[in-house]
Structures are given as structure tokens and as C-alpha cells.
Amino acid sequence: MDMTNNLSIVQLLLHASWVVQAVVVLLVLGSITSWAAIFRKAFALKRVARLNEEFERSFWSGTSLNDLYAAANQNARNGGPMERIFANGMREYHKLRERRIADPGALLDGARRAMRASFQRELDAIEANLAFLATVGSVSPYVGLFGTVWGIMHAFTGLASMQTVTLATVAPGIAEALVATAIGLFAAIPAVVAYNRYSHDIDRIANGLETFMEEFSNILQRSLGAPATASGH
């Protein structure tokens, strides 16, 4: 019974060396921060998908490009990535038309460049904190392993001065060292799972945005000989 109490996680950490305690504190902070990033990213990606879907429905509903552009300018802060990409493409398209550039290729290339630049900015914003999850997922097990190795070294150093070594004297030192590895895995596994899941979701969003840019470019190309109020169909 006494041995069980001495091997509780709290007791092990309280009696661990300061290096192991520092490692555990670092891993716990990393785990808490990664969980916060996981929840923020989940809500952010869900919002991006919803806003993109809403704008795409409006785009293909038959509303004129000028009306969509006016609405996108009014909704610049609260709009989704697809809406902002559309607005940037239309803005560049109108600027080139105002300069009386009549070459259809120049108009289309300008709009595509503006959309591509906006696409990269949006993708960078969507991928924010993803590298942090990858770092936590890859580094935490090694940090925990370092704490374990250090704890085992510390335990055996203490045993060197004892004449009689039993399981009761060895177990606490080994157990407190292994706690660091367990906490390292506890921090790493959710981060790795979330990173893989969000990477897949972001790839889908990026593919959807690229498909939209191609479709919008085709619409612009067809409308170059007509007023810019061409339908979104």
C-alpha cells in the first residue's frame, strides 16, 4: 500500500529531479497550447468552409459579377477566402479596364495574377499554427525521452551508494523517469492527429479555391467582349 502511494504520478513528480520536473512542465505547457491551437483551427476551418460554400452558391445563382463585387467589397472583413479572391480579381480587372487596356490577354492575366496573390495570402492565413502542431507532435516524444533518460541516470546514481538494492528502491526512480515519456506521448499524439486531419482539410479548401479561380477566369474570358455585368453562370 505504501509503495502504491509512493508510485502515484503526483508523488513521483514531486520527488523527481528538477530536470524531469522542468521537462514535465514544458510538455504540459506544450500540450495545453496545442489543444488551444487544435480547437481554434477546428472552428476556423469550419468557418472558412461555410463562408466559401455560401459565396459559391451566390456566385452560381445568376447574380451579376458587378453585384457580387459590390457585396464582396462591403463584406471584406467578414467574407471568406473565396469571396476575397473574387474581389481582388474583379478589382484588378476593373482597374485595367479603367486604364483603357483593351487586350483581352492582358486583362485576363492581370486578374489571374491578382487572384493568385490573394490565394497565397489566404492560404498562409489558413495554415497559421499548423507548423506549431507539427512541431509539438514531432518534438514532444524526444523531450519526454530526454526527461526519462535523465531520470534513470539520476536514479542509478542514487542507487550507487546503497549496499542493498531491491525493487522497492529501484521502482520509484524508474517510474518517475517514465512519467516524462508518457506525458511526451500525451502531448504529441493529439497534435499529430490534428495536424494530419487539418492538412487534409486545408488541401481540400486549396483545391476548391484553385478550381474556383479557373472557373472565374473562364467566365472573365467569355465576358471580355461584353459588359462586365456578365452572369455568374
- Could you tell me the sign of the dihedral formed by the alpha carbons of 55, 56, 60, 66, in that order? positive
What pLDDT digit, counting tens, does each position of 19-30 carry? 878 888 999 999
Residue 47: which pLDDT band, with cuts at 50, 70 and 90? very high
- Average pLDDT of the residues in 61-90: 89
Q: In the predicted model, is pLDDT for residue 5 greater than 60?
A: no
Residues 6+ apart with CB under 8 A from 20: 13, 147, 150, 151, 154, 176, 177, 179, 180
Identify the pLDDT of residue 202. 96
Residues 6+ apart with CB under 8 A from 95: 110
Closest CA to 185 of 140, 152, 148: 140
Asked if residue 86 lies in contact with residue 69, where contact means CB atoms within 8 angstroms, the answer is yes
- Average pLDDT of the residues in 64-74: 89
Residue 227: which pLDDT band, with cuts at 50, 70 and 90? very low
Closest CA to 174 of 146, 195, 154, 198: 154
Q: Angle of helix 65-74 relative to helix 18-59, nearest 10 degrees?
A: 150
Listing DSSP states for 163-195 in one string gives S---HHHHHHHHHHHHHHHHHHHHHHHHHHHHH
pTM: 0.79
Closest CA to 37 of 155, 137, 152: 137
Residues 6+ apart with CB under 8 A from 145: 180, 181, 184
What pLDDT digit, counting tens, does each position of 116-128 carry? 999 999 999 999 8
Asked if residue 44 lies in contact with residue 126, where contact means CB atoms within 8 angstroms, the answer is yes
